[in-house]
């Protein structure tokens, strides 16, 4: 059924009216397991160990991240939640996986973007999250991008999107854990060697 809608022309205060028939729009309203499967596939590849919680929409829609989990506020999972997920995955990785040097690279590059005349939207963290959200959405839509040059924001986005950033982080953590264990094993081993030298191996062992 057609109805007359009133609006405002973008960039001016001019009021306009237009005819609109909701039954003829191409908006996809249905959601289901395919949408959830899509989001799960991306989340597991990009950052497999962060819990993703889907919660009923409140006064706000979108998502939040607290360093431990990501919450998507929505009444139904659909296409728009994909961009929200990418946005929040960036924020999570920003806190836990991406090095300070890489963050500086991204923040510097996105600082030349549009000025939104809004402190929140102009924050480097928000600029970076929006940039990754758009990059990841383009990749998810099948856009074939030229492999990124090292030392660029796109290269950092590429590593995060493809899951190699998370894999590298896990490798660093295993190495740090091993080095931590060895930091107290080495002195004990050195002391044992010294004692063996002083008393002889048989005396030290028995």
**Same structural domain, 92 and 66:** yes
Two tokens at 18?
């237009």
Percent of the chain whose pLDDT exceeds 90: 51
Higher pLDDT, 96 or 194: 96
Residue where a domain terminates, one of 41, 75, 97:
97
**Overall number of domains in the chain:** 2
Say what the pLDDT of residue 17 is: 87
| pLDDT tens per residue across span 104-132 | 999 999 999 999 999 999 999 999 999 99
Say what the pLDDT of residue 35 is: 87
Say what the pLDDT of residue 57 is: 86
Tell me the whole-structure pTM to 2 decimals. Answer: 0.75
* Residue in 63, 93, 70 with CA at minimum distance from that of residue 162: 93
**Same structural domain, 80 and 107:** no
Q: Is 194 within a domain?
A: no
| pLDDT tens per residue across span 173-188 | 666 666 665 566 566 6
CB 171 within 8 A of CB 165: no
Instruction: Return the sign of the alpha-carbon dihedral for residues 131, 133, 138, 144.
Output: positive
**Same structural domain, 125 and 79:** no
Say what the pLDDT of residue 153 is: 97
| pLDDT tens per residue across span 95-110 | 999 999 999 999 999 9
Least confident of 22-26, 60-64, 72-76, 87-91: 22-26
**Same structural domain, 18 and 68:** yes
**Same structural domain, 155 and 79:** no
3-state secondary structure of 51: coil
Write phi, then psi, for 25 (nearest 5 degrees).
-80, 160
Residue where a domain terminates, one of 48, 66, 97:
97
Two tokens at 161?
């999107």
**Same structural domain, 132 and 107:** yes
| Cα–Cα distance measured from residue 88 to residue 133, given in angstroms and rounded to the nearest whole number | 9
Contacts with 102 (C-beta within 8 Å, 6 or more apart), sequence order: 156
Parent domain of 93: 1-97
**Is beta strand 2-8 parallel, antiparallel or unpaired with respect to 15-21?**
antiparallel
Q: Which residues pair with 21 in a beta bridge?
A: 2
């Amino acid at each position: 059924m057609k109805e007359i809608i009133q609006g405002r022309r973008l960039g001016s205060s001019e009021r306009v009216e237009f005819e609109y028939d909701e039954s003829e729009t191409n908006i996809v309203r249905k959601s289901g397991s395919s949408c959830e499967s899509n989001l799960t596939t991306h989340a597991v590849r990009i950052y497999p160990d962060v819990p993703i919680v889907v919660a009923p929409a409140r006064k706000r829609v979108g998502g939040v991240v607290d360093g431990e989990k990501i919450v998507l506020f929505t009444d139904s999972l659909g296409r728009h939640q994909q961009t929200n997920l990418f946005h929040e995955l960036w924020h999570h990785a920003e806190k836990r996986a991406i090095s300070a040097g890489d963050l500086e690279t991204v923040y510097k590059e996105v600082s030349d973007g549009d000025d939104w005349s809004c402190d929140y939207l102009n924050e480097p963290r928000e600029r970076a999250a929006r940039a990754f959200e758009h990059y990841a959405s383009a990749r998810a839509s099948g856009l074939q991008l030229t492999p990124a040059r090292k030392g660029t924001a796109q290269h950092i986005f590429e590593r995060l999107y493809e899951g190699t950033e998370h894999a590298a982080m896990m490798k660093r953590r295993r190495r740090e854990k091993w080095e931590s264990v060895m930091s107290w094993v080495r002195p004990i081993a050195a002391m044992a060697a010294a004692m063996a030298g002083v008393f002889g191996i048989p005396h030290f062992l028995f």
